[in-house]
Amino acid sequence: MSLDKRMIKIAIELSAEKNFDLLMQKILLEAMDICNCDAGTVYVLEDDFLHFHTIFTKSKGTTMEEQSSNINLPPVPLGRKNVCACSALDNKLINIPDVYESTEYDFSGAQKYDAITHYRTGSMLVIPMADEKGEIIGVLQLINAQDKDGKTIPFKKEYEEVISALGSLAAVSLNNHRLAEEVNILLHSFVEVMVDAIDARSSYNANHTRSMVGYASKFVDWLQARGDEWKFTEESKDAFLMSIWLHDIGKLIVPLEVLDKPDRLGTLKAGLKSKVEIACLKEQVLSLQHPERESECREKADTLRKAWEAIEAANTAGFLPDEKIAELTEYSKLTCKTAEDTEVPLLDDKELEAITIRKGTLTDGERKKVQSHVSYTARMLEKMVFKGTYKNVPFWSGSHHELLNGKGYPKQLKGDELPNETRLLTIIDVYDALTAEDRPYKPPMPAEKAFAILKSMRDDGEIDGHLLDLFIESEAWKKN
């Protein structure tokens, strides 16, 4: 293969490589192969120091991975004492036939290293790695070019241009890698900020998200270990976990008094209690003003207090049967005197609706407000640019309350419209909601009972039965 074709092939391979360590290794191996040399080092420039990143000496007889992982050498400062630093400072290729005969650079350090390792550094080619803007991001250093018999010879001039081009390709690839990393870090930082914002509003919801991420991460690793046909790469796993981190971002817009409503009355309780207390005091004052009505006033006050006791008990009850709802409805017809001596019903329409919620703490209107968080999530994430592996994050996050039978929300999607990622997210979301230990409105449910409910949802065609079985089998739901 001609050098031109080889350089094109190398350029394609470098641009496709996303693993930083493998990228460094490919750069060094290609350069060593082109020049037929025994050893080489890739330095990466950070904070005015050249850091050893990848190092390889063929004659040592061990792998590049082993040699690079055992690098304990201190970084090289950007000064005039080291040839690699001079190459970076001057943006200059340096070709030295024999370092022991060179007077232009100080090789005392290399000679001491040779004495310790019983190695003989001879010829050296040092190439600065500069990106398209001319900024130095590292140095490629090659040692001991060899002839066909393995004898050390100077590096051929004809390879200088080729290795310089390789250094430039490497620099551009490294720069692109760094830019991609920076974008990725920025994206993950945004996720952390959003979760922290949710945490600041509602501590239980942030715990919910973190628990879900933990379950999902363990489940994905379990799938990988068992060789399941549905596999995740590191990138696709990260994208899926990101959709979980962001799935409740829309709750930032839901009013906190609804989102964290601990009981049926919520913010209405204080006003209702005050209403009853004022009404009882009014009856007491009336009995003092009209002694002949004392019995009537005491009976009215006792009835209001009894009604309040029933209301308080219902406010935090797990479930209200028909007879309890009927009792509360009757109590709502009682009247209370206000501080202004006007008469109002014990329970107005809003208070009656709240206290007669059969199960849970939310009225229909409040439940719709909470459910709207899914639409807000999708809307907020769709304004961001998710590309490549992350392109489906907004959809996965915004459809985790959809059900396979089309009875979910907000778009009533069903069947094949819902990919595995969404189906799994839904299962994990329901499981954690049922078993969470920090919900203000309900006690945690044992795992066995939670799975019984999930199996009932499976039987009703709401969730994926195969994924549910896998999730149960994986034991990823077990807390550490």
Confidence class of residue 259 from pLDDT cuts 50, 70 and 90? confident
The pTM (predicted TM-score) of the whole model is: 0.68
Residues 155 and 57 grouped into a single domain: yes
Is the domain of 99 the same as that of 143?
yes
pLDDT at 235 over 90: no
pLDDT digit string (tens) for 41-86?
Answer: 999 998 889 998 889 999 988 888 888 777 777 888 988 888 899 9
* pLDDT of 113 over the 80 cut: no
In contact, 59 and 33? CB cutoff 8 Å: no
Reading the block at residue 67, the tokens are: 């040699």
Q: 17 and 158 share a domain?
A: yes
**Is 158 among the domain residues?**
yes
Q: Same domain for 137 and 281?
A: no
Residues 6 or more apart whose CB falls under 8 angstroms from that of 418 comprise 399, 402, 404
Strands (E), 269-371: 335-337, 343-345
CB count within 10 Å of CB 78 equals 17
Q: Among 58-67, 93-102, 463-472, where is mean pLDDT lowest?
A: 58-67
Given a cut of 90, whether residue 409 has pLDDT beyond it is yes
Q: Is residue 193, in this structure, part of any structural domain at all? A: no
* 206 and 285 within one domain: no
For residue 255, tell me if it sits in a domain: no
CB 420 within 8 A of CB 467: yes
For residue 146, name the pLDDT band (cuts at 50, 70, 90). very high
Residue 446: CATH number of its domain: 1.10.3210.10
* Burial class of residue 348 (count of CB atoms within 10 Å of its CB; 0-12, 13-18, 19+): middle
Q: What percent of the chain has pLDDT over 70?
A: 94
Decide: helix, strand or coil at residue 137. Answer: strand
Q: Flag whether 374 is in a domain.
A: no
Same domain, yes or no, for 208 and 62?
no
Mark whether 15 and 137 lie in a shared domain.
Answer: yes
Residue 141 domain flag: yes
Structural domain contains residue 197: no
Per-residue pLDDT for 286 more than 80?
A: yes
pLDDT recorded at residue 368: 92
Instruction: Give the span between the Cα atoms of 109 and 96, in whole angstroms.
Output: 16
Instruction: Compute the distance between CA of residue 430 and CA of residue 315 in angstroms, rounded to an integer.
Output: 24
Domain of 158 in residue numbering reads as 3-179
pLDDT above 70 for 203: no
Q: Which of 305, 330, 361 is the last residue of a domain?
A: 361
Q: How far is CA 101 from CA 111, 296, 308, in A?
A: 12, 118, 100
Q: Is residue 88 part of a domain?
A: yes
Whether residue 136 is found in the same domain as residue 49: yes
The arithmetic mean of pLDDT across residues 390-413, rounded, is 95
Residues 6+ apart with CB under 8 A from 194: 245, 246, 249, 252
Check whether residue 171 and residue 31 sit in a common domain.
yes
- DSSP secondary structure letters along 15-83: HH---HHHHHHHHHHHHHHHHTEEEEEEEEEETTEEEEEEEEEGGG-S-HHHHHHT--PPPEESSSSSH
pLDDT tens, 422-464?
999 999 999 999 998 877 667 789 999 999 999 999 999 999 9
In this structure, is residue 480 part of a structural domain? no
Do 286 and 357 belong together in one domain? yes
What pairs with residue 327 in β-bridges? none
Number of domains making up the chain? 3
Which of the listed residues 361, 396, 427 is the one where a domain comes to its end? 361
Between residues 231 and 96, which one has the greater pLDDT? 96
| Secondary structure (3-state) at 297 | helix
**Domain identity same for 134 and 31:** yes
Instruction: Tell me, yes or no, whether 346 and 432 share the same domain.
Output: no
